[in-house]
Amino acid sequence: MVGLMLPPYVLSRAIDEGLVPGRLAVLLGWVAVLFAVGVANAWLAVMRHRTMTRIRMDATFRTVRVIVAHTLRLGAALPHKVTAGEVVTIGIGDVGVISQTLTMTGPGVGGVLAYGVVAVLLLTVSPLLAGVVLLGVPLLALLVGPLLVWLQGAESRYRERQSGLAARLTDLVGGLRVLNGLGGKEVFADRHRREARELRDEGYRVGAVTSWVQALGVGLPTLFLAAVTWLAARMAAQGAITVGELVAVYGYAAALVVPVSFFIEGGYDLTRGLVAARRVVRFLRLEPDTADGSGSAAADGSGSAAADGSGSAAADGSGDAAGSRAGGTPGSRAGDAAGSGAGDAPEAASVLRDPASGVEVVPGLLTALATARPGESAAVVDRLGRFADSAATWGAVRLDEIPLPQVRDRILVADNEADLFAGTLREVVSGRRDRAEEAIGRAVRTALAEDIVRGLPDGLDSAVEAQGRNLSGGQRQRLRLVRALLADPEVLLAVEPTSAVDAHTEAGVAARLHHARAGRTTVVTSTSPLLLDRADRVYFLVDGRVAAVGSHRQLLAEQPGYRRLVARGEDEDGTDESATSASSTGASSEDVTHTTDGADPRPEAPVTKEDA
């Protein structure tokens, strides 16, 4: 910026001192100086561009790295604290805006220094011209200021709408198959179109303000240059300044157009940068649902998440946890805030109690939670798995007073939306630890997932895409169950483990799960009679509280509300038709296997509820 102010000064000296008869050497000398200044300015321009590009790239990578690290730290809390659309908007738009804003620093400092240099040079020419130029530049900035404030508000509203629309689109794409099955695709598409039109209108409003800012950024400095030139020309005609000084004044004013335009455009960039930075800072201020110092997550090459305090993965490396659902208020647990060591987990298997619902999980039993609202049973699991603030206890100790690593080592929450990382099928189900072939086989058989292994080209060594995109919904659900079973936790809390499979598969999974987890504490949430009939104890929840407890058949006989809830596939007398059908063929439910994979062992078989 300072270099731009030197050519007018050199040019004025060349005119006043060199355009005199007999002083050709002086003229050539000043021409050489002018050439040298031009070469120096060209070299500085190249280096400035390289430096600003480096600053932009460095800022982009730094911001992305911080955002990704914090995303991993949030873990299972992420979906409940921020929408997918907002994360997408931050990653695609806000990061670039922030990095662009940071390049204001160099030219900004340069513009201020150039302003000072011009002030000194103009004072040597004419105090009047110096006053006009030096007072006119701040006046231009003041004229654009109100527009920048208006732009900041409009840009904030636009970004919020953009984030919401991105979230809507993410939901639409993610649930396309389900929406097709329910006939709701057009409803969501219409809503997306309506919100897109609203975003477009908001964009027009932002564009209108932006166009005025950019127009003033070019137009005002040009008008200012014309006014200064007119004044300087009159002074030259009157003999107050020389011709060389007239050229210099014009050159100074013209050169000042660059920093003035930059200040106006920089104000626009700064406005957008503040909006983007506030969104990023708001995201970085989010805290995991635990605050005992272990709230960072990592992903390893085996296709599972590492153990951490965020609740995004099991401590044993199974990678299966409530990755999509975690409640609670950041930093509100007294035990967490105080750090680890407030209490130790019971050494022996102990009862898990949830005072909020009245559920008590007895060690060694298969306990089922049935409710008309799946969110209520899921909330109980959140509390028992310490993914939500509660007064839940484990034995005689409150869960939130136990160091989180101890909880994660022994209690595993297996959620239907837990992430499936890309890798081989063996890596996906094994997690961070190598699993014995025999153990994998047992878990696969328990989850009735043999058809998945047989249907893939290379069996356990077949590639699985991220989130299991090359598998059906039912297959993904069974792989998550395989992963949870391989972890072999002391307490397994499974949310709707069979909701996406057909009744035939469900019956087999229920029987084998009961057998495989015999003597281990297991909790499942379900309204399927096939699974409930295998439970040792069933809790019937109404409005989030225990309304009745007993065996499945006992509750069928004594609780009309429970009977209505689970009546699908059952006779009025409580006889399970599926079980009757299985026994009538002479096969026990323990030996139920798939019949769909003999002739057509495709990954899509068997048919799942989601596919239907």
Cite the DSSP H helix spans in 175-239. Answer: 176-182, 185-237
Asked whether the beta carbons of 16 and 241 are under 8 A apart, the reply is no
Q: Look up the pTM and report it.
A: 0.55
Strand 423-424 vs strand 463-464: parallel, antiparallel, or unpaired? Answer: antiparallel
Asked whether the beta carbons of 109 and 356 are under 8 A apart, the reply is no
What is the total residue count of the chain? 612
Say what the alpha-carbon torsion angle 340, 343, 347, 351 is, to the nearest 10 degrees. -110
* Residue (of 82, 104, 86) closest to 95 by Cα position: 86
pLDDT of residue 168: 61
* Residue (of 400, 397, 409) closest to 328 by Cα position: 400
pLDDT of residue 483: 92
Q: Which residues of the chain have pLDDT under 50?
A: 291-341, 569-612
Asked whether the beta carbons of 284 and 70 are under 8 A apart, the reply is yes
3-state secondary structure of 311: coil
Q: Which two tokens stand for residue 187?
A: 């409803």
Question: Which H helix or E strand runs over 505?
Answer: helix 503-516
State how far the Cα of 530 lies from the Cα of 513, in Å rounded to an integer: 12
Strand 537-542 vs strand 545-550: parallel, antiparallel, or unpaired? Answer: antiparallel
Q: Please calculate the CA angle 10-16-18 and round it to the nearest 5 degrees.
A: 80
pLDDT of residue 177: 52
Question: Which H helix or E strand runs over 413?
Answer: strand 411-414
3-state secondary structure of 603: coil
Question: Which H helix or E strand runs over 367?
Answer: strand 366-371
Sole residue written with tokens 């957008």: 272
pLDDT of residue 534: 93
**Beta carbons within 10 angstroms of residue 556's beta carbon:** 25
DSSP states along 252-298: HHHHHHHHHHHHHHHHHHHHHHHHHHHHHHHHHT---S--SS-----
